């Protein structure tokens, strides 16, 4: 029997909700308090944009979306641009912190190293890093010029990615996996991602990622595409 299109969409959404927020990599995490002197300013930069995204519904946790599970995560690099691939450390929001309107430093984790080949993330902090940490690491490995990675959930962008001509990852690749990391790197080589700085996650309902040299560049890239998406809808 051929299912109506809407039924297919709902089946995909339910299947992905079941996986939302689940860490799919090997996590080597040390529970410890992060130093405010070293990481406080970066956390404030990320927190400022996160509050904007919360207020616009791009990050958060709402009962009517994804069965109330948190969505969206932000990160920023902490190490000098010269660090080798796989060790380009970054501060990232912790897994399932979407219910908080504003975050404190204790809601962030410091990723010190990561490996797509080993499907592994090494981190420290008072909570586990986002389930998307491998994807963030894959972006940082592309070029030292990428210092911020923002992952939001924007239905208006995701559902119109084709019309917006956004680079889009393979629908068969799940979020948070090493395969998504390889997919990000493929898109950067073969599409306009290096210019658009925004991509849609084909296999992750509503998932959109924006990157930049600064927090403002990454955040504004997403908001500019969101405005174009609303123009498409209207």
* Structure confidence at residue 19 (pLDDT): 46
Question: Any idea which of 13-27, 45-59, 69-83, 210-224 has the lowest mean pLDDT?
Answer: 13-27
* Structure confidence at residue 21 (pLDDT): 63
Q: Is the full-model pTM beyond 0.75?
A: yes
8 Å CB contact between 187 and 202: no
d(C-alpha 98, C-alpha 73), whole Å: 8
Question: Who wins on pLDDT, 69 or 44?
Answer: 44
The percentage of the chain sitting over the pLDDT mark of 70, rounded to a whole number, equals: 91
* Structure confidence at residue 125 (pLDDT): 96
Q: Is the dihedral of CA 200, 71, 81, 226 positive or negative?
A: positive
Q: Which two tokens stand for residue 52?
A: 């904007």
pLDDT in tens, 63-111: 888 888 889 999 999 988 889 999 999 999 998 888 888 899 999 999 9
Q: Would you give the distance in Å from CA 134 to the centre of its chain?
A: 10
pLDDT in tens, 148-163: 999 999 999 999 999 9
* Structure confidence at residue 226 (pLDDT): 98
Question: Does CATH place domain 5-233 in 3.40.225.10?
Answer: yes
Rg (CA), the chain: 17
């Amino acid at each position: 029997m051929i299912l109506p299109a809407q039924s297919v969409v709902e089946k995909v959404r339910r299947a992905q909700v079941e996986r939302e927020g689940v860490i799919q990599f090997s996590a080597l995490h040390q529970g410890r308090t992060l130093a405010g002197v070293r990481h406080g300013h970066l956390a404030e930069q990320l927190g400022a944009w996160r509050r904007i995204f919360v207020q616009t519904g791009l990050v958060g946790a709402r009962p009517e979306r994804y069965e109330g599970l948190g969505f969206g995560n932000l990160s920023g690099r902490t190490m000098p641009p010269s660090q080798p691939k796989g060790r380009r450390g970054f501060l990232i929001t912790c897994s399932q912190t979407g219910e908080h309107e504003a975050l404190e430093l204790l809601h962030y984790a410091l990723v010190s190293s990561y490996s797509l080949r080993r499907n592994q993330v090494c981190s420290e902090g008072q909570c586990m890093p986002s389930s998307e940490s491998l994807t963030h690491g894959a972006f940082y490995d592309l070029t030292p010029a990428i210092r911020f990675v923002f992952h939001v959930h924007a239905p208006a962008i995701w559902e119109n990615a084709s019309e917006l001509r956004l680079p889009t990852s393979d629908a068969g690749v799940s979020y948070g996996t090493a395969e998504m990391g390889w997919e990000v790197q493929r898109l950067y080589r073969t599409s306009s991602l290096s210019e658009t700085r925004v991509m849609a996650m084909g296999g992750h309902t509503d998932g959109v990622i924006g990157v930049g040299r600064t927090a403002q560049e990454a955040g504004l890239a997403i908001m500019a595409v969101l405005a174009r998406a609303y123009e498409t809808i209207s």
